[in-house]
Amino acid sequence: MNRGELLTLVALGEDSGRQFKANITNADSLAADLVAFSNSSGGVVLIGIADNGTLPGLTSADVRRLNQLIVNATTQHMRSPISPKTENVPLGRGRVIIVVTVAEGLDKQIRKLQQEGRFRRVGPRKSWRWETLGDGK
């Protein structure tokens, strides 16, 4: 993805397949978002973009920390692990946006650990909700 493609996605705003995050510090919270995308029709988390669509971006230190957080979220905070695609899109000024693309899961059995049931994302960020799909067994 290049900067122009990124700006096009940002101009479209958040919806049931696209979420903006200025920053992430909690692997469990990220896992919940990724699981919800996997259990619906897939989606993209754009890290380094504020809710209002501005692009503060991330420093190289942020990128290193977030790459480890993404690995932890996808391997230790959900069952079965998923393998999202990550891509760093340069903004200039030494800043980047991390684009995390989650494919639709095949079995819909992925769920956040410490939660009962399977979840999927329904609606855009400001009005989305968890929809319980069953007990996940």
Structure-block tokens of residue 11: 């101009």
Q: Are 66 and 24 in contact (CB under 8 A)?
A: yes
Confidence class for position 116, pLDDT limits 50, 70, 90 = low
User: Shortest CA distance to 81 belongs to which of 69, 91, 89, 72?
Assistant: 72
Q: Which amino acid makes up residue 59?
A: T
Mean pLDDT of 64-83: 89
Total domains in the chain come to 1
Domain range for residue 45? 3-121
Q: What is the pTM of this model?
A: 0.81
For residues 117 and 111, what is the distance between their CA atoms, to the nearest angstrom? 7
Residue 17 included in any domain: yes
Provide Rg for the chain, Cα atoms: 14
**What is the model's pLDDT at position 121?**
57
pLDDT score recorded for residue 134:
53
Task: Give domain status of residue 37, yes or no.
Answer: yes
Rounded Cα distance, 117 and 112, in Å: 9
Amino acid at 18: R
CATH number of 33's domain? 3.30.950.30
Residue 84 covered by a domain: yes
Q: If pLDDT is split at 50, 70 and 90, which confidence band does 136 have?
A: very low
Please indicate, yes or no, if residue 25 is contained in any of the structural domains: yes
